[in-house]
Amino acid sequence: MKKNTIYIMVLAVAVFIAGFFMYLFAKNYRHLQNTGAFRSTVHSYRQALNERAPITDPHAIESWMTFDYVNKMFNLPVSFLKTEMGITSTKYPRLTLYREAKLQQIPEQLFLENVKNAVLQYATSTPQK
């Protein structure tokens, strides 16, 4: 009987100590986040994507990409491809090239080539910064 009581007391003290250290850890972690010592990896990754140099080779375009993605890759104005490709879907620019080719009933490869040509035309007609 006495062993069970001692065992329960030791276990209770261990749980209390573990809880106390978890509280201290959480408190210090929040403080470090608020002071900027820790940054979210997702935030840093997104910031790096937005700050990277634009891609200049239109052959990198694939049909799984959205128009939004292509616009960001090549620093295109948001409405450029919508106008050039005659897109009327309300889902633009969050629409994949593949899906738009299906909607326009154009073979995927032909549509992809048309997008690449439009991007190339924009790149050659617009002075680079």
Query: How far apart, in whole angstroms, are the C-alpha atoms of residue 70 and residue 123?
Result: 13
pLDDT of residue 125: 84
The conformation of residue 66, written as its DSSP 8-state character, comes to B
Query: How far apart, in whole angstroms, are the C-alpha atoms of residue 55 and residue 83?
Result: 21
Angle formed at CA 53 by CA 48 and CA 59, multiple of 5 degrees: 115
Displacement of CA 82 from its chain's centroid (Å): 22
Q: What is the mean pLDDT of each run of 10 residues along the chain (129 residues)?
A: 85 94 87 68 56 69 92 89 92 92 94 93 77
pLDDT of residue 123: 84
Residue type, 33: Q
Domains in the chain: boundaries: 2-38, 55-125
The pTM score is: 0.57
The conformation of residue 28, written as its DSSP 8-state character, comes to H
